[in-house]
Amino acid sequence: MTLEITGLKVSLGGRDILRGVDLHLEKGRVHGLAGESGSGKTMTGLAVLGLLPHGARATGRIDLGGRDLLTLPPRELNKVRGGQVAMVFQDPATSLHPMLSVGRQLTEHMRHHLGLGRAEARARAVELLGKVRIPGAEEAYGRFPHQFSGGMRQRIAIAIALACSPRVLIADEPTTALDVTVQAGVLRLLRGLCDELGLAVLLVTHDLGVMSAIADEVSVMKDGLVVETGPRGQVLREPAHAYTRSLLDALPGEPGGPAEPGGKA
Amino acid sequence: MSNTASGKTPLPGRGPEQARARRRGAHPLARFLVRRLLTAVLLAWGITLVTFVLTNLVPGDPVAANLGQRALGDPAIVAQWRAEHGLDKPLWEQYALHLQGLLQGDFGTSQQSHRPVAQDLAEFVPATLELAGAAILVSLVLGVGFGVLAALRRDRLSDHLLRVLSLVGISVPTFWLALVAFYVFFYRLQITPGSGRVDPALGGAPPVTGLQTIDALLAGRWDIFASAAGHLITPTLVLALYTIGLLTRFTRSAVLEVLGQDYVRAARAKGLPGRVILFRYVLRSALVPIITVAGLAFGSLLSGTVLVEAIFAWPGIGQYAYKSATTLDLPAVMGVGLVVGVVYLVINLIVDVLYGVIDPRVRLQ
């Protein structure tokens, strides 16, 4: 078990946002986390990295290699962030700093966490850009985010997340802001990296089509609770919970069946 | 551009733009600078035209303002005076002569002091620049510092205190503050020196830059430097208070806005240390609105110097402008207008260049 979340509760301003979430992520597996907006799936992802909004209180346990991330002192938590648990955000147009070069954003945390020199970090950054299939990696290194398309930016964001060889990757709606035509490519890339690097991936999405494309396990959340969890085929084909069934029924065109990746309307 | 995942996509970015840049062999920032400089030259010419036309359009006869009652009654003297100052020629010709003179550094002769305007300006402008420059420097350091502090300690005691301070700074009229400061610190407490730029007993440092403090340092005269700095403190703070208040409020809101951006959360998720996030991620973005306001604030600071100079008997351009305007000393008024216009131009140029330095999206346009 790479990452184990048990009984995670989060309250914000007197409201319970998470009411006892249990999730288990394993090496080399993609765990999909589905649910409608407001069900708490994004909060679950943020809680792992201690990035909850100001004033939020979290209890329970988030275990990574025997340590509880919720009680880690800030300095230690900062080593885990980016170093062992990395995150890819929904919209690469806003999650990359528009005034810092791609190279800068790729290397700064490598140099900080891994203590690499400028040249080493640069070499690794170019290698990473190649790995996420950015054409002309050498040239891309010196460019700025606005000079890339949305799909390319999300690939860069993924490269940044992978730079320090984390064990866990949290991808929060990584394809929602992208054109349908490039969604499939980014998802394939995520799946491939998960297999190749033995990453434990938490894929947060409201899109069951995305889920059925690459998830190994699927958990469904509603009102701050996980209502159903299991292997993809089981959850998506024979949903045990009424809420999962209603989510599946809401998919256009294919009643009860999983849609093709990126095939949502 | 909609890239597919096949890997056959064209190079991202602006292909033709990049190619053009390479052909000219110029760094994008250098080309950006050249473009801005050319614009500035054009604007400077515009300023000469506007100051000339406005000055000549004002209702008011310089003849009446400069000649005595008896001389005014004599048409021959009036005609001679007009001819002497070139006022008998058509306006366009006057402008051409004016422009030709400017290019040779000739601003005309003041009708009041009978000295070249250029000489007057060289004497008064540095005093004002020293005061305004010190004030903007103090405002930037304190205003931005306070603003960042207030944003980081949002809704805590220090934030509330700074809010009150900035409100006071923005609301208190400069002339009133100048009078009170003069009365309290000089007359009552006697902890600051009185009027002027430097203790008259010391004389002054040999003028190099015209800035008393810098000249004193260049001459190695610590006694003069101490006196000049002492004279500078009160008027600087009086002049800066408004800008400090303004920049505190602006910086606070700019930093708070940036703190809520996705890329700041992404930087936290990368485990970067707090100070790196603050300086590299937050301040860089927040600086764009801050320098915009700072540039504008410098303008209002310059006009604020007129009052402060009057109260602290600071021999600056504000006093000179007031004197020239009331006597309709047209060459002097035009000279002041031109200098103030060029100062604005330079400030704007600096702000523009800073945009380009900070934000690659500006210089890569």
Q: What average pLDDT score do residues B175-199 get? A: 82
The percentage of residues in chain B with a pLDDT greater than 70, rounded to a whole number, is 90
Query: Going by C-beta distance under 8 Å and a sequence separation of 6 or more, which residues neighbour residue A260?
Result: A209, A213
- The predicted pLDDT at position A206 comes to 86
Cα–Cα distance between A13 and B57 in angstroms, integer? 65
Q: What is the number of helices (H) and of strands (E) in chain A?
A: 11, 10
Confidence of residue B59 (pLDDT cuts 50, 70, 90): low
Cα–Cα distance between B122 and A245 in angstroms, integer? 83
Q: Which positions in chain A touch B268 (Cβ < 8 Å)?
A: 49, 51, 81
pLDDT digits (tens, 9 = 90+) for B245-280: 999 999 999 999 999 899 999 999 999 999 999 999
Picking from B1, B2, B3, B290 by the largest number of A CB atoms within 10 A of its own CB, the best residue to mutate is B3
b/e per residue, A218-231, with b = 16+ CB within 10 A?
bbbbbebebbbbbe
For tokens 């250098």, what's the residue?
B30
The conformation of residue A144, written as its DSSP 8-state character, comes to: -
Cα–Cα distance between A238 and A78 in angstroms, integer? 41
Q: Which of B333, B334, B317 is nearest to B325 (CA)?
A: B333
Kindly report which listed range (A90-94, B63-67, B179-183) carries the lowest average pLDDT score.
Answer: B63-67
Quick check: B7 pLDDT over 50? Answer: no
Q: Which positions in chain A touch B361 (Cβ < 8 Å)?
A: 98-99, 144, 146
Q: Is B115 in a helix, a strand, or coil?
A: coil
Does CATH place domain B118-363 in 1.10.3720.10?
yes
DSSP string, B118-161: HHHHHHHHHHHHHHHHHHHHHHHHHHHHHHHHHHHTTTSHHHHH
CA distances from B243 to A249, B84, B301 (A): 60, 45, 8
Q: Which of A101, A98, A162 is nearest to A127 (CA)?
A: A162
Q: Which of A59, A139, A48 is nearest to A86 (CA)?
A: A48
Cα–Cα distance between B176 and B227 in angstroms, integer? 25
Q: Which DSSP helix (H) or strand (E) runs through B352?
A: helix B330-358
CB pair distance less than 8 Å for B360 and A99: yes
CB pair distance less than 8 Å for A96 and B267: no
Q: Is A92 in a helix, a strand, or coil?
A: helix
* Amino acid at position A170, single letter: I
Cβ(A255)–Cβ(A168) below 8 Å: no
pLDDT digits (tens, 9 = 90+) for B298-310: 888 887 888 889 8
Beta strands A67-68; A30-34: pairing state: unpaired
Q: Please give the order of strands across the beta sheet that includes A85-88.
A: A85-88, A168-172, A200-204, A30-34, A217-222, A225-231
Alpha helices in A142-207 (DSSP H): 150-162, 180-197
Query: In this complex, which of A95, A143, A147 lies closest to B262 when CB atoms are compared?
Result: A95
Residues of B with CB under 8 A from a CB of A: 1-7, 9-14, 261-263, 265-273, 276, 280-281, 284-285, 358-361, 364
CB pair distance less than 8 Å for B265 and A151: no
Query: Going by C-beta distance under 8 Å and a sequence separation of 6 or more, which residues neighbour residue B40?
Result: B345, B346, B348, B349
CA B80 vs. chain centroid, Å, equals 40
* A78 and B CB contact within 8 Å: yes
Beta strands A56-64; A200-204: pairing state: unpaired
Q: B-contacting residues of A 100-119, CB under 8 Å?
A: 100-101, 108-109, 112-113
- Residues facing residue A88 across a β-bridge: A171
CB pair distance less than 8 Å for B1 and A86: no
pLDDT tens, per residue, chain A with 265 residues: 589 999 999 999 889 999 999 999 999 999 999 988 888 999 999 999 999 988 899 999 999 989 999 999 999 999 999 999 999 999 999 999 999 999 999 999 999 999 999 999 999 999 999 999 999 999 999 999 999 999 999 999 999 999 999 999 999 999 988 888 888 989 999 999 999 999 999 999 988 888 888 999 999 999 999 999 999 988 888 888 888 888 888 777 554 444 444 444 3
| Nearest residue of chain B to residue A94 (CA atoms) | B262
CB pair distance less than 8 Å for A79 and B280: no
Beta strands A56-64; A67-68: pairing state: antiparallel
The conformation of residue A57, written as its DSSP 8-state character, comes to: E
Cα–Cα distance between B301 and B136 in angstroms, integer? 8
Average pLDDT, chain B: 84
CB pair distance less than 8 Å for A112 and B276: yes
Q: Is A221 in a helix, a strand, or coil?
A: strand
ipTM score: 0.88
For tokens 């690499």, what's the residue?
A116
* A140 and B CB contact within 8 Å: yes
Quick check: B193 pLDDT over 90? Answer: no
Question: Into which CATH architecture does domain A3-249 fall?
Answer: 3-Layer(aba) Sandwich (3.40)
DSSP string, B261-311: SHHHHHHHHTT--HHHIIIIIIIHHHHHHHHHHHHHHHHHHHHHHHHHHHH
DSSP string, B174-220: HHHHHHHHIIIIIIIS--S--SSSS-GGG--PPPSSS-HHHHHHHTT
Kindly report each contact of residues B67-71 with a partner whose C-beta sits within 8 Å and lies 24 or more positions away, as own/partner. none
Looking from the CA of B364 toward its CB, the CA atoms found within 13 Å total 20
Q: What dihedral angle (degrees, nearest 10) is formed by the CA atoms of B328, B329, B330, B335?
A: -130
The conformation of residue A81, written as its DSSP 8-state character, comes to: B
Kindly report each contact of residues A15-22 with a partner whose C-beta sits within 8 Å and lies 24 or more positions away, as own/partner. A16/A224, A17/A43, A17/A56, A17/A224, A18/A43, A18/A44, A18/A47, A18/A58, A18/A224, A19/A223, A19/A224, A19/A225, A20/A60, A20/A224, A20/A225, A21/A60, A21/A221, A21/A224, A21/A225, A21/A226, A22/A226, A22/A229
Cβ(B312)–Cβ(B17) below 8 Å: no
